[in-house]
Structure 1
Amino acid sequence: MLIINSFEEYKTYLGKELGVSNWHKIDQEQIDNFANATLDHQWIHTDKEKAKREGPFNATIAHGYLTLALIPYLWKQIADVRNIKMEINYGIESFKFGQPVLVDSEVQLKAKLNLITNLRGVTKVIIEATLIIKGEQKPAYNGNVVFLYHFV
């Protein structure tokens, strides 16, 4: 795991891959819990029998937004940003979904630092996030996440 203690330290990684997370299995229980939390019960996500019978993937798939919601969890496995008063998930930009994540697939986040800026004491970083699906050539998605850090 990468440990970052300051803006200056963070800046040394500009343009570099920061690392990859552990593999995370997305099972039906997590998909169903996400469907309940977001009120998105579309059958392609929650009805195993219908998805197998009528769906294009022969199985349920994770919600695209579920895979995005995993970014903070998976990011914490890549980098430990220390000496901060606050960290803010500021935005997501230019995300493209390459392919669906089938139930029981394992995914892993790969992160690269694309931009770092000091905004009068607040550090803004843009991390290129790619969600890899184990055993697949194409990623589930690729895009940029924006974090703000208030270093002490």
Structure 2
Amino acid sequence: MSVADDLIALYLPKLNTEIHCGQWLRIDQQRINAFAEATGDLQWIHIDPARAALESPYGATIAHGYLTLSLLPFLSESNAPEYFNQNYPGMRLRVNYGLDRLRFPAPVLVDSRIRARTKVLRVEKVGEAVQFTYEYTIDIDGESKPACVAVFLARVYP
């Protein structure tokens, strides 16, 4: 058996189960503004608290959906060296392959706390790599609907 086969065997019993629940992260206006500046998305609903308080259906500024998405590596702790070594034994690198599905069911209001939960949907050999299909759900503290649900593909190489 190869290292890739061993990794697949390790994950087969974990299919359709939650393998990680991250820590809460507060999304403040400074983070929203920095993302707006970096991406050029300067829509008032994100960066103008006074106008958002008056005109927004949410009564406050909200985080960009793509800001929420961009925090997945941090929220899932999936790029931390210790996470990689523990969860992909014998492999040397992981690359993002893309998204199969992405939804933003609820807005993240400024000063909300969010966290990511990770579920393994599929694991398979693709060439020399092992491809993982993960479902990430980003919860909003105190809310029933998630901020984001993403089906993400990652490839891990020996």
Question: TM (normalized to structure 1)?
Answer: 0.90
**Contact 1:20/1:78, CA 8 A, preserved across alignment:** no
Structure-1 separation of matches of 2:77 and 2:10: 17
**Contact 1:21/1:78, CA 8 A, preserved across alignment:** no
Pairing of 1:23-34 with structure 2 (within 5 A): 23-34=24-35
Match for 1:114 among 102, 105, 121? 121
Deviations 1:104-125 (A, max 9, x none): 0000101100010111220100
The structure with the greater share of residues assigned to strand is 1
**Contact 2:99/2:153, CA 8 A, preserved across alignment:** yes
Unaligned runs of 5+ in 2: 1-5
Letter of the 1:92 counterpart = L
Question: Does residue 127 of structure 2 align to residue 92 of structure 1?
Answer: no
What's the CA shift for 1:29? 0.5
Which residue is 1:81 aligned to? Answer: 84
**Contact 2:98/2:152, CA 8 A, preserved across alignment:** yes
Letter of the 1:21 counterpart = G
Query: Percent of pairs identical after alignment?
Result: 37
Structure-1 separation of matches of 2:15 and 2:75: 20
Structure-2 separation of matches of 1:88 and 1:120: 14
Letter of the 1:18 counterpart = I
Unaligned runs of 5+ in 1: none
**Contact 2:78/2:84, CA 8 A, preserved across alignment:** no
Q: CA RMSD in A?
A: 1.8
Count of residue pairs brought into register by the alignment: 147
Question: Does residue 107 of structure 2 align to residue 104 of structure 1?
Answer: no
Which residue is 1:11 aligned to? Answer: 12
Structure-1 separation of matches of 2:78 and 2:136: 13
The structure with the greater share of residues assigned to helix is 2
Letter of the 1:10 counterpart = Y
Question: TM (normalized to structure 2)?
Answer: 0.87
Structure-2 separation of matches of 1:36 and 1:55: 20
Secondary structure of the structure 1 residue equivalent to 2:143: coil
Structure-1 separation of matches of 2:33 and 2:134: 29
